[in-house]
């Protein structure tokens, strides 16, 4: 009966698989922007500008100090309000809407940026200052020293922390179901409401999330082994 509900002619398996694909797509779309913005935040927090440090510190404190679901709501509806404001200036009377998937991915990226900035700061502190002096002695500019000396080492040091954030991101994509994005959790909710079999479909969704986490852990371990080659 369970297999019939999942993969029968009228089963819900295809909807769950489609939702799983959207979940992965959300995570893959959010991670590069979130990790990149996190690195930028870390660099600004370590800059020589006190005002910039305070602004970036306040940003990370805000989004790390409130529930992730509330963060998503703030970013999602904040983006929508900003678009409506801009639309009111450019084309008065024409409402502007943002695609739910794009808004959800941007919302997740903001949360990831706040968390990953702490990982990047720790990685930046782990690079010995003497390497900057050596780069300067070779005639490299600060930008060249960062790109050629610091950045390659940051990935190795930050990889474990970023891997953990990626795993959290995979699970946090379930929060996007509240924003009308048909991810895995929303698909499981629709199936459970229609069939009155919540345990079956939520268990199936839990199994898929678990598979994603196990696969991510395997990829992370492989990347860490590769990054640590040649290090004692």
Residue 227 domain-assigned (yes or no): no
Quote the pLDDT of residue 215.
94
Query: 87 lies in which domain range?
Result: 18-180
Residue 213 domain-assigned (yes or no): no
Residue 7 domain-assigned (yes or no): no
Find the CATH number of the domain harbouring 28: 1.10.3720.10
Residue 89 domain-assigned (yes or no): yes
One-character DSSP codes across 184-225: HHHHHHHHHHHHT-HHHHHHHHHHHHHHHHHHHHHHHHHHHH
Give the span between the Cα atoms of 175 and 99, in whole angstroms: 16
At 181-193, the pLDDT tens digits run 888 888 888 888 8
Residue in 79, 74, 70, 71 with CA at minimum distance from that of residue 103: 79
At 136-159, the pLDDT tens digits run 777 777 788 788 878 888 888 899
Number of separate domains in the chain: 1
Quote the pLDDT of residue 5.
58
C-beta of residue 84 within 8 angstroms of C-beta of residue 76: no
Q: In this structure, what token pair is assigned to residue 183?
A: 């991810």
Residue 30 domain-assigned (yes or no): yes
Residue 222 domain-assigned (yes or no): no
Quote the pLDDT of residue 7.
61
- The CA-based angle 205-206-211, given to 5 degrees, is 100
pLDDT in tens, the chain (232 residues): 555 556 656 667 788 888 899 999 999 999 999 999 999 999 999 888 889 999 998 999 998 888 888 888 888 888 888 877 777 777 676 667 777 888 888 889 999 999 999 999 999 888 877 777 777 777 777 788 788 878 888 888 899 999 999 999 999 898 888 877 888 888 888 888 888 888 888 988 999 999 999 999 999 999 888 877 766 5
Residue 155 domain-assigned (yes or no): yes
CA dihedral 6, 8, 13, 14 (to 10 degrees): -170
The whole-model pTM stands at 0.86
Residue 170 domain-assigned (yes or no): yes
Residue in 70, 75, 74 with CA at minimum distance from that of residue 105: 75
């Amino acid at each position: 009966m369970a297999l019939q509900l999942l993969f029968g002619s009228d089963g819900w398996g295809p909807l769950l698989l489609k939702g799983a694909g959207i979940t992965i797509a959300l995570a893959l779309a959010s991670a590069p922007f979130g990790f990149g913005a996190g690195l930028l935040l870390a660099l600004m927090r370590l800059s020589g500008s006190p005002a910039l440090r305070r602004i970036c510190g306040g940003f990370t404190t805000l989004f790390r100090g409130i529930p992730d679901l509330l963060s998503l709501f703030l970013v999602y509806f904040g983006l929508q309000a900003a678009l409506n404001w801009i639309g009111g200036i450019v084309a008065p009377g024409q409402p502007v809407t943002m695609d739910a998937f794009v808004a959800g991915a941007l919302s997740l990226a903001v949360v990831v940026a706040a968390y990953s900035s702490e990982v990047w700061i720790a990685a930046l502190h782990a690079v010995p200052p003497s390497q900057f002096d050596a780069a300067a002695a070779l005639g490299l500019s600060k930008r060249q020293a960062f790109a050629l000396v610091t950045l390659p080492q940051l990935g190795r040091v930050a990889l474990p922390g970023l891997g953990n954030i990626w795993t959290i991101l995979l699970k946090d994509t379930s929060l996007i179901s509240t924003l009308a994005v048909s991810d895995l959790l929303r698909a499981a909710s629709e199936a459970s409401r229609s069939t009155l079999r919540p345990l079956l479909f939520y268990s199936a969704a839990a199994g898929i999330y678990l598979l994603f986490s196990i696969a991510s852990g395997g990829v992370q371990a492989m990347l860490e082994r590769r990054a640590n080659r040649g290090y004692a």
